[in-house]
Amino acid sequence: MVFRFFVLLLLLALTMIPISMLENLVDYRIEQKQMIVEELSNEWGNEQTIIGPILSIPYVERISRIESQTDSNGLKSSVSRDIFNNKTLMLLPENLRINADLKEKILVQDQTKAYVFQGEIEFSGNFNLDSLPEASGYNTIEWDKAFISIGMSDNKSVEASSPLIWEGSSATFKPGTQLSTLLKNGFHTNLEKVANENPLPQFKLQLNLKGKDSFQFAPFGNLSIAKISSNSSQTKVYGDITPSSKVSSTEGLEATWRISNLTRNYPQQWLIDEEENKAFNHDFSSVLTGVQLPSPSSTTDQNYALIKNSLKYLLPMLGILFLSLLVLEFKRNSRSKPKFIHYLVVSLPVLLMPLILLTLNNLTTLIQAYQIAAGSSIVLIALYVFAALKSFSHGFFILLIMVILYSAVFVMLQIPEYALFAVSSAGIGITVLLMIVSFNIKEDR
């Protein structure tokens, strides 16, 4: 018995070699899948963060100064001189409304899935022009140079954009923000051909864009109201500000924000004086909020992580299986020569189980793949024990042992918080079965 025990320990040590090879194989498959997912998702788009809109209105301020001067004869006189200062008033919306409808998309290549999204975004609201100086002989408003800028983290993924609707007029967007120090990426539109008589001009624009991982916006309005809906049940609220309402279901997520400008650290308006070269350099991304969608490889990463975690249970499973066979053999005939070929054969289905799971993972769900792989392993082991030992009771006993082991592993993989319960239940069940075999099972005749 002692000799058999030490030989089985040596066999267990040798099984670490194929287990290590399986780990390397899973790591390789994970790396290959991630490369495919990254390639697919990068071609589609990146994380989307929208900052804007910002209204820039240049104007010229004229200041008249009376200066005294003395000529060569010592006579003093007064001279009027005009000084022109070029300034730009930067305005954020008085009210900003954002409606975003995000649809989850699945990209497939070589049976690998990448989860991305496609969104229809609508911005609307109004600006308050009360801070703009009145046009007069001392102030010249240069509406022909005014423009609206919108920043985007990945404007390469914009599929389409409607013209800016400004008080019934329209203006086409152009590449670049015209505010490189504030918004590096994005687009703008000139307001030279739109109406500018209303002190509270209304605006509206629509975007169709693509992206992955997350969609966020900056609360630019004096009051920002945003509504974001997604058809993915895995969508989560993401960012610095909690929504005022949120509805989650199996059909997706719908969240609404009402955000005051007090939540951020930059003002509603500011001036840029070109002569003094005063630039506004606050970080607009300091306060962002939105939703987080399933990452392109979230499901793939999770499944492969579970498969990789299952490998660490192979050695304990083989140890319990070897111990059970050892008890059966010793109970059957303690003086018979040990047949270590049995242990080698029954270890093969256990070691092949992760390979089956790895193969079926791309064809069905992980739960179904696990059921098929574990069921195949259990049946093969039970049939071999029944044929090798010529005992139905022994084969059924091993079947029960393997069902308990695979069930415990499944619980530990899928519901980690019940891992202690699974281990204790499996330990009690296997101990009871071993005691039954040791004391009550008789040899089949």
Q: Which domains does the chain have, with CATH numbers?
A: 2-37+313-439 (no CATH), 48-295 (2.60.40)
Closest to 225 measured CA to CA, from 245, 211, 206:
245
Task: Please give the Cα distance from 203 to 200 (Å, whole number).
Answer: 10
Q: What is the pLDDT of residue 123?
A: 93
Q: Which of 184, 183, 155, 160 is nearest to 172 (CA)?
A: 160
Q: Whole-prediction pTM value? A: 0.72
Burial of 300 (0-12, 13-18, 19+ CB in 10 A): buried
pLDDT at 277: 46
Whole-number pLDDT of residue 335: 59
Residues in the chain with pLDDT values less than 70 = 63-69, 71-72, 74, 77-82, 84, 135-137, 274-281, 296-301, 332-338, 437-445
Residue 307: CB atoms within 10 Å: 23
- Residue 437 has a CB neighbour count (10 Å cut-off) of 18
Single out the residue of 286, 297, 320 nearest to residue 404, CA to CA.
320
pLDDT of residue 225: 95
Q: Are 268 and 92 in contact (CB under 8 A)?
A: yes
DSSP labels for 54-95?
Answer: EEEEEEEEEEEEEEEEE-TTS-EEEEEEEEEEEEEEEE--SE
For position 203, what pLDDT does the model report?
Answer: 92
Count helices and strands in the chain by DSSP H and E runs: 7, 19
Of the candidates 369, 396, 393, the residue with the CA atom closest to the CA atom of residue 381: 396
Cβ contact 102:228 at 8 Å: yes
pLDDT in the model for residue 329: 75
CA distances 107 to 59, 111, 297, 393, Å, are 50, 10, 11, 50
Strand partners, 140: 60
E-strand ranges in 268-363 read: 269-273, 289-292
Question: Which residue reads 């949120």 in tokens?
Answer: 246
